[in-house]
C-alpha cells in the first residue's frame, strides 16, 4: 500500500504528483489548442513557426486552463510529429525545453490517424495504473510545407499493402470513396445527402475560433467542386493543415481539487478487426465492424447506450465516414446516416449533434493530433464555452478515432462533472 506512506494532509501538489491511490477514474481537466491552419512555412521563409515553441505555449496554457502547476505533472505522452518536423526524438527534446523531470512516463506514440487517441489512452492508463496523478497528452503535427502529391507518396504506403495495393495507386481517401460508392449502391442514398454532412460541419465550424475553414458554404458549393476520388469532391475530403494540442489528464481526486468542470472518461472500447484496409475474407465493409465492436465495449463500460449521448465528436476524414461511423455508433439506423445529416438531425440543435467542432472537414485534420482536438471539443462543450456551437445541457459524449478504413477504432464515452 504505497499510498499509505503519504501523510493524510499532504500538500496538494505532493498528493497530485505521487501515490498509487487508484480510484480508477481519469478526467480531462484542461486543454489548449492551436487554431488549425497553415503554420509551418517553407525553408526559404525568413522566420518560421517552430513546433516546440508552439507546443510549449500550449503546455503553459493547458495547465492554466486546468488550474494546475508545472510541478503537478509527472508524465508526458506525445503524438509522434510528422517526418517533416526537423527536430527528432521530440518528446525528450521537449522534456528538456520545458525542464520537466517526470517519474511516470515520457514517450512518443504513432498509430496513423489513431495516434493522438493512443497517446490520450496511454496517458490515461498511466493514471489508472497509479503511476502518475497528472499527465499531459500532447503533440504537434506540422506538414503544410510538403505538397499533397509528395505527402501521398508516404501516406499511400500507410493505407495499404506496399506490394499488393500501392502499385495500383490507392490513396488514403480512395478507400473511403469506395465506401461511398458501395453505400450509395446498397442504400440508395444520394450524393447530395452525403454532401450535406460537409455543409453541416461547416455551419458548426463557423462558430469555432480554432477551425481551419469557417467561410459559409452551401450544398451547391460542395457539389460544384472538382472531383478528388469519385464521388467525393474537394470539400468532401479533408484539407491539409498544421495543428498542436496539449491536454491535461488527471486522476479524479485531483480533478475534484481544481474546482472547475471536467470531463470524466466513463467508458473505453478498442477493437482491431485484424485487417488492413480490406478483409481478405469478404465482409460487409461499410458496416464498420471495428467501430461497432469498440462502441459496444465503450457503452457497456460506461453503462450507457447511444440514446443517452448528448453529442458525438467522431473521427471522419470524409463525409461518408461520418455517415458510416454514426450508424456504427447507433446514432442513426443502418442506411439512414446520410439522410439524418441532410435532415438536420446531426446539427447543433438537432436530435444528436455530430462534430460540433466542424469535424475533420472544417475544423481541420492535422492527422497525428486530430483526436486531441476531439477531446478538447468535448471539454469546451462540457464547460459551456462552445459559443454558437454550444450543445444545450451537454453532459454525455462519445469520441472515436480510427485507422485504415476504420479497421480499428478507439471509442470513449465522456461525462461532464460540474
Partner 1 sequence: MTMTVVGAVGKRAYPPRRSAFTATFWSALAEGRFQTTRCTKCAKPSFPPKPICPHCWSDETEWVVLTGRGRLYSRTTVHAGPAAFQHELPYQVGIVDLDEGLRIATRILGEAELDQPVEIVVLRYEDGDIYAAQPVRAG
Using rule CB under 8 A, residue 281 touches partner 1: yes
* Nearest approach, Cβ of residue 200 and partner 1 (Å): 23
Q: Cα(391)–Cα(386) distance, rounded to whole angstroms? A: 8
From 171-179, 188-196, 264-272, 377-385, give the range in contact with partner 1 by CB under 8 A. 171-179
Helix axes 319-328, 172-187, angle to 10 degrees: 60
Beta strands (DSSP E) in 257-306 are 262-272
Q: Cα(206)–Cα(411) distance, rounded to whole angstroms? A: 26
* Nearest approach, Cβ of residue 290 and partner 1 (Å): 16
H/E run at residue 311:
strand 311-313
Report strand pairing: 75-79 vs 26-33: unpaired
Using rule CB under 8 A, residue 230 touches partner 1: yes
Using rule CB under 8 A, residue 236 touches partner 1: no
Using rule CB under 8 A, residue 112 touches partner 1: no
Using rule CB under 8 A, residue 229 touches partner 1: yes
Using rule CB under 8 A, residue 156 touches partner 1: yes
Long-range CB pairs of 273-282, under 8 A, 24+ apart, other chains included = 273/407, 273/408, 275/404, 275/407, 276/160, 276/161, 276/404, 276/407, 277/159, 277/160, 277/161, 277/165, 277/170, 277/175, 277/404, 277/405, 277/407, 278/175, 278/405
- Residue (143 or 377) nearer to partner 1, CB: 143
Using rule CB under 8 A, residue 49 touches partner 1: no
**Which of 5, 42, 89, 164 is in the footprint of partner 1 by CB under 8 A?**
164
From 52-60, 125-133, 200-208, 279-287, give the range in contact with partner 1 by CB under 8 A. 279-287
Using rule CB under 8 A, residue 165 touches partner 1: yes
**Which of 7, 209, 282, 307 is in the footprint of partner 1 by CB under 8 A?**
282
**Which of 181, 223, 287, 304 is in the footprint of partner 1 by CB under 8 A?**
181
From 23-31, 50-58, 168-176, 253-261, give the range in contact with partner 1 by CB under 8 A. 168-176
**What is each CA distance from 399 to 243, 329, 374, in whole angstroms?**
19, 10, 7
Asked whether the beta carbons of 232 and 356 are under 8 A apart, the reply is no
- Residue (335 or 350) nearer to partner 1, CB: 335
* Nearest approach, Cβ of residue 238 and partner 1 (Å): 12
Helix axes 115-128, 370-382, angle to 10 degrees: 60
Q: Which of 137, 78, 85 is nearest to 109 (CA)?
A: 78
Using rule CB under 8 A, residue 278 touches partner 1: yes
* Nearest approach, Cβ of residue 245 and partner 1 (Å): 28
Residues 114-153 that bind partner 1 (CB under 8 A): 148-150, 152-153
From 70-78, 160-168, 196-204, 301-309, give the range in contact with partner 1 by CB under 8 A. 160-168
Q: Cα(36)–Cα(59) distance, rounded to whole angstroms? A: 17
How many residues are given for the chain?
A: 418
Q: Which residue has the cell 441532410?
A: 342
Burial of 86 (0-12, 13-18, 19+ CB in 10 A): exposed
Residues 6 or more apart whose Cβ sits within 8 Å of residue 99: none
* Nearest approach, Cβ of residue 195 and partner 1 (Å): 16
* Nearest approach, Cβ of residue 135 and partner 1 (Å): 37
**Which of 135, 195, 228, 312 is in the footprint of partner 1 by CB under 8 A?**
228
List contacts with partner 1 (CB under 8 A). Answer: 148-150, 152-153, 156, 160-171, 174, 177-182, 185, 226-231, 277-283, 285
Amino acid at each position: 500500500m504505497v499510498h499509505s506512506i503519504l501523510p493524510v494532509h499532504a500538500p496538494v501538489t505532493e498528493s497530485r504528483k505521487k501515490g498509487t491511490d487508484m480510484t480508477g477514474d481519469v478526467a480531462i481537466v484542461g486543454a489548449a489548442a492551436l487554431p488549425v491552419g497553415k503554420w509551418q512555412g517553407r525553408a526559404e521563409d525568413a522566420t518560421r513557426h517552430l513546433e516546440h515553441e508552439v507546443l510549449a505555449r500550449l503546455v503553459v496554457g493547458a495547465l492554466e486552463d486546468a488550474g494546475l502547476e508545472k510541478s503537478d505533472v509527472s508524465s508526458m505522452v506525445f503524438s509522434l510529429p510528422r517526418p517533416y518536423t526537423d527536430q527528432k526524438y521530440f518528446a525528450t527534446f521537449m522534456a528538456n525545453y520545458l525542464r520537466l523531470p517526470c517519474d511516470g512516463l515520457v514517450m512518443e506514440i504513432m498509430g496513423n490517424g489513431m495516434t493522438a487517441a493512443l497517446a490520450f489512452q496511454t496517458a490515461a492508463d498511466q493514471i489508472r495504473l497509479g503511476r502518475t496523478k497528472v499527465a499531459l497528452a500532447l503533440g504537434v503535427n506540422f506538414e503544410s510545407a510538403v505538397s499533397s502529391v509528395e505527402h501521398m507518396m508516404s501516406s499511400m504506403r500507410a493505407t495499404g499493402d506496399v506490394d499488393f495495393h500501392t502499385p495500383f495507386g490507392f490513396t488514403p481517401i480512395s478507400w473511403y470513396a469506395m465506401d461511398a460508392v458501395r453505400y450509395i449502391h446498397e442504400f440508395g442514398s444520394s450524393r447530395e445527402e452525403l454532401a450535406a454532412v460537409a455543409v453541416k460541419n461547416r455551419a458548426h465550424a463557423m462558430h469555432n475560433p480554432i477551425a481551419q475553414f469557417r467561410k459559409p458554404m452551401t450544398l451547391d458549393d460542395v457539389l460544384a467542386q472538382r472531383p478528388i476520388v469519385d464521388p467525393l469532391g474537394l470539400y468532401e475530403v479533408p484539407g491539409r493543415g498544421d495543428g498542436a494540442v496539449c491536454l491535461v489528464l488527471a486522476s479524479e481526486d485531483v480533478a475534484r481539487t481544481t474546482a472547475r468542470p471536467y470531463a470524466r472518461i466513463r467508458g473505453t472500447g478498442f477493437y482491431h478487426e485484424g485487417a488492413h484496409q480490406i478483409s481478405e475474407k469478404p465482409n460487409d465493409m461499410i458496416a464498420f465492424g471495428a467501430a461497432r465492436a469498440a462502441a459496444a465495449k465503450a457503452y457497456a463500460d460506461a453503462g450507457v447506450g447511444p440514446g443517452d449521448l448528448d453529442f458525438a465528436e467522431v473521427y471522419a476524414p470524409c463525409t461518408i465516414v461520418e455517415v458510416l461511423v454514426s450508424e456504427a455508433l447507433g446514432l442513426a439506423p443502418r442506411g439512414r446516416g446520410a439522410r439524418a445529416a441532410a435532415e438536420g438531425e446531426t446539427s447543433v440543435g438537432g436530435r444528436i449533434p455530430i462534430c460540433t467542432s466542424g469535424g475533420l472537414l472544417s475544423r481541420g485534420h492535422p492527422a497525428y493530433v486530430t483526436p486531441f482536438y476531439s477531446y478538447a471539443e468535448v471539454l469546451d462543450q462540457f464547460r459551456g464555452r462552445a459559443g454558437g456551437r454550444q450543445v444545450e445541457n451537454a453532459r454525455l459524449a462519445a469520441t472515436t478515432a480510427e485507422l485504415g478504413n476504420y479497421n480499428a477504432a478507439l471509442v470513449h464515452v465522456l461525462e461532464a462533472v460540474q
